[in-house]
A and B are shown apart, each in its own frame.
Chain A
Amino acid sequence: MQKLYAGQGRHTRVIHNCELTTITGLSVSVRKIISYTSAYRASGEFALSRESSRREVFPAAGVGILARLVSLISGGIDSPVATYLMIRRGVEIVAVHMDNRPFTDDKNLDKALQLVRHLQEVTKSPIKTYVVPHGPNHVVFARNCERHLHCLFCRRMMYRVAERIAEREGAVGILTGESMGQVASQTVQNINVVNQVAKLPIIRPLIALDKQEIIEIARRIGTYEISILPGLCCTIVPKQPSTAAKLPDVLAGEGKIDIESLVEKSLEGMYVLAPEAL
């Protein structure tokens, strides 16, 4: 049986050039068509896909957009999947890549941009991309703050920057690929500590999925092959990162440094790539 991915909106399209037929006024039982095709129900219209391998149906970009979100895109597996899922739900994306060089390498930035380009192609949705220097922030955290809390300082800084970009772009939330318990900064306790820094809602579509489920989606949408290309992992991650940080400890650490100045410097150093530039 084929999997069915349905959304909401008035228009439909199917990715990867599969054949699409729009039939107005046709009443179709989704349960019946699920076995041989994909369907997308919206205002009496159904789009039937006859393509054999790709069965997913999208709401059209630019039509029926629900909201604009800033998506934190790394070069990894999760964030492109989260972004894809939200675009499919009719969300317009502004991508933000926090550039961890020199604690990673050039390949991570290349991968992140490749992933955004791929998402643009797959979803036919233009994605403006911000690249923000984050390496200098790591130096400040590592030199001044508690080592085991480093990843929390890092993520809170990402959210601060993302929120400022969201203000600039008129976005109403921040989208991340976080999945419960996957790494130290993604435990419930640490997510709580990270959340405290943001006023905008943090959207985490992958929170309850396990890695294998995320990988399956990534393979299906073609981002997996890009995400697993060689790329140096962050080299400044502490050996024993905290998995249950307490907010007062994190605030005390941040109290030792001029956070606002770091945010400003990050924003001054960032650059923007138009969708067509990718």
Chain B
Amino acid sequence: MYSLLKPCKTSAAFEAIPGERFSLDLDRCEEILQPFCTIVAHAGVLLIVNDRCEVSIHRNGKLILKTDSQEIASEQAGRIAGWLTGTPAIQKHRDLRIP
């Protein structure tokens, strides 16, 4: 699900970039992730959860992983991808064009 993990602009966190274009339904993400993570905040445009580290989940699927450790960031991105893959929270862009 995530093809690129890179330090963010300020080197304070890591960014996980999705390998393909999709949208996330953050309300559904919140429901799905609730049993696994602490929901820190849901601002509509952004969902923040806490598991191995705090993660900001954007509607375009991008993750901001607030940790200095690439290992933790990579593991956390994988965990979130695992929980969300195959759920209705992920809406592929081609699906969105269907009337």
Residues of chain A touching chain B, judged by Cβ–Cβ distance below 8 Å, are 102-103, 105, 107, 135, 138-139, 142-143, 147, 230-233, 235-236
Contact = CB atoms under 8 A, between A and B. Distances in A.
Interface of B: 8-13, 40-46, 48, 54, 56, 64, 66, 68
26 contacts: A102-B40, A102-B41, A102-B56, A103-B46, A103-B48, A103-B56, A135-B41, A139-B41, A139-B43, A142-B43, A142-B44, A142-B45, A143-B43, A143-B44, A230-B68, A231-B10, A232-B10, A232-B12, A232-B13, A233-B8, A233-B9, A235-B46, A235-B56, A236-B43, A236-B45, A236-B46
* Binding site secondary structure of chain A: loop
Contacts of B46: 103, 142, 235-236
A231 B12 contact: yes
A235 B57 CA distance: 10
A230 B44 contact: no
A208 B46 CA distance: 35
A155 B45 CA distance: 19
Nearest to B44: A143
Given A232-B8, A232-B64, A139 B42 contact: yes
Nearest to A142: B43
Given A142-B46, A232-B64, A105 B41 contact: no
Contacts of B64: 232, 235
Nearest to A232: B12
Nearest to A136: B41
A151 to B, nearest CB: 14
Given A102-B40, A102-B41, A105-B54, 16 more contacts: A102-B48, A103-B46, A103-B56, A105-B12, A135-B41, A139-B42, A142-B46, A143-B43, A143-B44, A230-B12, A231-B10, A232-B13, A232-B66, A233-B8, A235-B56, A236-B46
A230 B7 CA distance: 11
Contacts of A143: 43-44
Residue of B9, B12, B42, B48 ringed by the most chain A CB atoms within 10 A:
B12
A230 B42 contact: no
B45 A107 contact: no
Contacts of A142: 43-46
Contact of A233 (B10, B43, B45): B10
Residue of B8, B9, B10 ringed by the most chain A CB atoms within 10 A:
B10
A272 B48 CA distance: 27
Contacts of A103: 41, 43, 46, 48, 56
Contacts of B44: 142-143
Contacts of A231: 10, 12
Contacts of A235: 46, 56, 64
